[in-house]
Amino acid sequence: MDTIHVTRPSMPDYDEYCREIQKLWDSRRLTNMGPEHEALRAALEQYLGCPHVVLHANGHLALENTLAAMGLPRGGEVITTPFTFASTTHAIVRSGLTPVFCDVEGDAFTMDPGKIEALITDKTVAILPVHVYGHVCDVAAIDRVAKAHVLPVIYDAAHAFGVRYKGVSAVNFGDAAILSFHATKVFHTIEGGAVCLGREDLAARLDDLKNFGIRGPEQCAVPGGNAKMNEFQAAMGLCNLRHVEGEIAKRGRLAERYRRNLAGVPGIRLCRPQKDVTPNFAYFPVLFDGFRASRDAVCDALAERHIMARKYFYPLTSRFPCYAHLPTAGRSSTPVAAYAADCVLTLPLYADLAAEDVDRICEAILACGK
């Protein structure tokens, strides 16, 4: 029996990718912001409706460079969420900043705006919310709090490619938004990422930081690093961008099939679609609360049938051993995030998943505990 993984990369037609990279054999231009890089940057700015897209080798470096480009003082506190992938919290800490964990709200599991203000101190230097599973944060409420305290907002939008709120791409909220183009994402460049923003001066700083601060053959302006996206990555992105709307539509049909199979089952909770949000169906999270089998038991039962679901996100990043002694730990109370982490299971979802496999996964879930 073939294993069904929680996700599987979308790939363009083999010949399409070969045609895209053929020119690299002619030019020998493989990196350093070549023609494919520039073509992808321009295409993404148009697709996302974003003034500036700064491509990176991966989403984590994009986030670290954004924190550096913002000029946030080392030792400052960043209000964020523990219900996220490790990268979000690691980037804060690796930048010499201290995470302060804010709880999430119970529908979309994004940062609860009503809990932010109580965490703000004279050490707070930024707010870093996360669009979880493609669910959009309450951007208006977060913006009001940030403006009242003159704090920048940096969105981790790794899950939000193609998502729109009231017709506007999710990456256009806040001072900057970070995208991941990892192979498992709705849109990918094998590895890769981007910073989306409206400020030209900040985009220029990011260009410096991702390329050693080099501005010319004999000019090095700042002590930057190396976070450049190469031409093969960009070529994959150009190919995938041509097909991304179709891939999202396929995911949507599968998500609806999951809903039909699992809706109304006692002890199984499905996330409600968000009002005014055009989703990307990045993930299909299910919460097991009062079901006849625990989340862990369901996960194990699926694995026995070669179905690899994922406890995403578990554990909370605030519970990582490396953050056990954070000086801000005593100020963080995140019971809703803890509930989500203990109950959630993301089921397999990708464009090439067969509808019959969705049915098989749901049958396996419903057989648990009988």
Task: Kindly write down the DSSP assignment for every residue of 180-245, as one continuous string.
Answer: E--TTSSS--SS-EEEEES-HHHHHHHHHHHBTTEEETTEE-S---B-PPPHHHHHHHHHHHHHHH
DSSP β-ladder status, 284-288 and 277-278: unpaired
Give CA–CA dist 309/284, Å, rounded.
Answer: 10
| Range list for CATH 3.40.640.10 in the chain | 14-239
Top CATH class, 14-239: alpha beta
Positive/negative CA dihedral, 257, 258, 259, 262: positive
How confident is the prediction for the chain on average, in pLDDT? 96
Mean pLDDT of 12-20: 97
Q: Which residue has the tokens 């029996």?
A: 1
Q: DSSP letters along 285-322, please?
A: EEEESS-SS-HHHHHHHHHHTTB--B-TT-S-GGGSGG
Asked whether residue 1 carries a pLDDT value surpassing 80, the answer given is no
Closest Cα partner for 196 from 298, 34, 66? 66
pTM for this one? 0.97
| Range list for CATH 3.90.1150.10 in the chain | 244-366
CB 34 within 8 A of CB 27: yes
Question: How does pLDDT run across 182-224, given as a tens digit for each residue?
Answer: 999 999 999 999 999 999 999 999 999 999 999 988 899 899 9
324 vs 174, more confident: 174
CB 111 within 8 A of CB 104: yes
Q: Which residue has the tokens 């992808």?
A: 40
Mean pLDDT of 120-147: 98
CB atoms within 10 A of CB 117: 13
Mean pLDDT of 304-312: 97
Question: How does pLDDT run across 72-92, given as a tens digit for each residue?
Answer: 999 999 999 999 999 999 999
Asked whether residue 316 carries a pLDDT value surpassing 90, the answer given is yes
pLDDT at site 136: 98
Q: Which residue has the tokens 């490790």?
A: 86
Closest Cα partner for 335 from 318, 311, 310? 318
Both tokens assigned to 244? 């991304």
> Distance between the two ends of the chain, CA-based, in angstroms?
23
243 class by beta-carbon count within 10 Å (0-12 exposed, 13-18 middle, 19+ buried): middle
CATH architecture of the domain 244-366 equals Alpha-Beta Complex (3.90)
pLDDT band at 281 (very low <50, low <70, confident <90, very high): very high
